[in-house]
Homo-oligomer: A and B are copies of this chain.
Amino acid sequence: MRSLDLNSLYGLLEKAQGKLYNKDFLLTWEYDFELVNATMELARALRELHRNGHDIRTFNSGLAVSIFRDNSTRTRFSYASASELLGLQVSDMDETKSQIAHGETVRETAAMISFLTELIGIRDDMYLGYGHSYMEEVGRSLDESFEAGVLHQRPGIINLQCDLDHPTQSLSDLSHLVTTFGGTENLRGKKIAMTWAYSPSYGKPLSVAQGIISLMTRYGMEVVLAHPEGYDLVPEIVTNAGNQAQASGGSFSVAHSMEEAFKDADIVYPKSWAPMTVMQQRTELLRASDMAGLKELEKQALANNAKFKNWEANADLMKLTKNGEGLYMHCLPADISGVSCKEGEVTGEVFEKYRLRTYSEASYKPFVISAMAMMTRIPDIIGQLKRISTKDCMRRR
């Protein structure tokens, strides 16, 4: 599908729209391929409509609440941008300014912030085993309050990164690949290396890597996950990626060397994460506010990371990729050796070559969030697109 072949998109949406209406967008692997794929193509179409100057406002009143339990630049602004694109006003739920410490339960808070709310974007990626559960609990609370008539509308939750998945990132990455390679069909058989890389920090979530292997294995790609021994992802997610690869006619394998992963790769995605076991210990220490324990864990984890400083995407490794011209990807910010740290995930030379392309990769995120919002909130997306794409519906300036 080309960027603005709206008729093809309408075809995809006919099978997908309504499936997630009054629900949430949490984990890509919980939704069928038609839904996930239509969301991605909708995001790409919204980006083109925006580029062409269309006014994409879909609501004319309502709040878009955000709950950030971790720092963020890209996702925060992407969420604000998507909200503005759709016509909603952002209202940040800053937990330090709320009465949550004052005895509010999750289900109470969920209702209290939702009386005029269409979207709730949540980032909760620090606590392995808890982030996704929290979003589910918020979702059940919204269901209860909506069914009881306390809420006039049921806001849709958008997962802005949890402990398991980072769907706004993975769908942006996919959009970038589809645009770069000229269509989803062209991804079939392409090799993508999702590899761990060295970072001088610790405690980075697993969700980007897990999101990538969980999404790309559905497109018939040859997905290689590479990391040093011990840097495992959540086993169920890895198993599921394998199953998906088999079903889609692609492949999935795990390697323990960057060289092996980069070899003939069409796409490489070198990105650090903490071993699952470190994240589990860290979660328990954080929940117990055990500062001494956290300090000790950090020390050990950094010492362990330091054994793998050679897991750095450099020019020699890039030469191993398909024709020496494999596409480098990153969710940003990257740990760039000699730029943002002494030794990191990628050399300055490699990063600079692909820098603007990583910005393009990121540029899909506001539109991915918008597409997810439409999927959860708009029953007739096709009708909305028909209105938006006319020549009369342009942004003023």
Contact with B along A45-81 (1 / 0, CB 8 A): 0000011000111111111010010011110111011
CB contacts (< 8 Å) of A62 on chain B: these are 84, 395
Write out the residue numbers on chain B whose beta carbons fall within 8 Å of the beta carbon of A148. Answer: 356, 359-360
Pick from B61, B81, B339, B356: contact of A57, CB below 8 A: B61
Say yes or no: A396 contacts B58, CB within 8 Å. Answer: yes
- Does chain B have a CB within 8 A of A103? yes
Q: How far apart are the CA atoms of A369 and B99 in the complex, in Å?
A: 20
Interface size on A, residues (CB 8 A): 76
A333: chain B residues at CB < 8 Å are 99, 102-105, 108
Q: List 26 A-B contacts (CB under 8 A).
A: A50-B152, A58-B397, A59-B396, A60-B396, A61-B85, A62-B84, A68-B97, A71-B98, A72-B99, A73-B104, A76-B98, A77-B91, A80-B89, A84-B89, A84-B91, A104-B332, A105-B340, A108-B332, A108-B359, A111-B363, A115-B362, A115-B365, A116-B366, A148-B359, A150-B363, A378-B397
Chain B residues lying within 8 Å of A58, measured Cβ to Cβ, are: 396-397
Q: Cβ of A84 and Cβ of B111 under 8 Å apart?
A: no
Complex contact A73–B397 (CB within 8 A)? no
Q: Name the residue among A56, A73, A339, A378 with the largest chain B CB count within 10 angstroms.
A: A73
The answer, among B57, B112, B150, for a CB contact under 8 Å with A77, is B112
Cross-chain contact A115 with B356 (CB below 8 angstroms): no
| Complex Cα gap A81–B112 (Å) | 11
- Residue contact A340 to B77, C-beta cutoff 8 Å: no
Q: Is A247 located at the chain interface by the 8 A CB criterion? A: no
Q: Which of A59, A76, A87 counts the most chain B CB atoms within 10 A?
A: A76
Most B C-beta atoms less than 10 A away, residue of A55, A84, A344: A84
Residues in chain B near residue A113, CB distance under 8 A: 73, 77
Closest Cβ of chain B: how far from A192's Cβ, in Å? 22
Residue of B nearest to A367 (CB): B115
A61 close to B71 (CB less than 8 A): no
CB A327 to nearest CB in B, in angstroms, measures 16
B395 touches A84 (CB 8 A): no
CB pair B145 A112 closer than 8 Å: no
Residues of B within 8 A of A184 (CB): none
A303 within 8 A of B: no
* CA of A366 to CA of B365, assembled, Å: 31
B85 and A99 contacting across the interface, CB-CB below 8 Å: no
Q: In the assembly, what is the distance between CA of A98 and CA of B333, in Å?
A: 11
Please tell me if A377 contacts chain B, counting CB pairs below 8 Å.
yes
Kindly state whether residue A341 has any CB partner on chain B within 8 Å.
Answer: yes
Decide yes or no whether A144 CB sits under 8 A from chain B. Answer: yes
Please, which residues of chain B bring their CB within 8 A of the CB of A61?
A: 55-57, 84-85, 87, 395
User: A286 in the interface, Cβ–Cβ < 8 Å?
Assistant: no
Instruction: Using CB atoms, name the residue of chain B closest to A73.
Output: B98
Chain B residues lying within 8 Å of A65, measured Cβ to Cβ, are: 77
> A243 within 8 Å of B by Cβ?
no
**Does A336 interact with chain B (Cβ within 8 Å)?**
yes
Let me know if A41 is at the binding interface, CB within 8 A: no
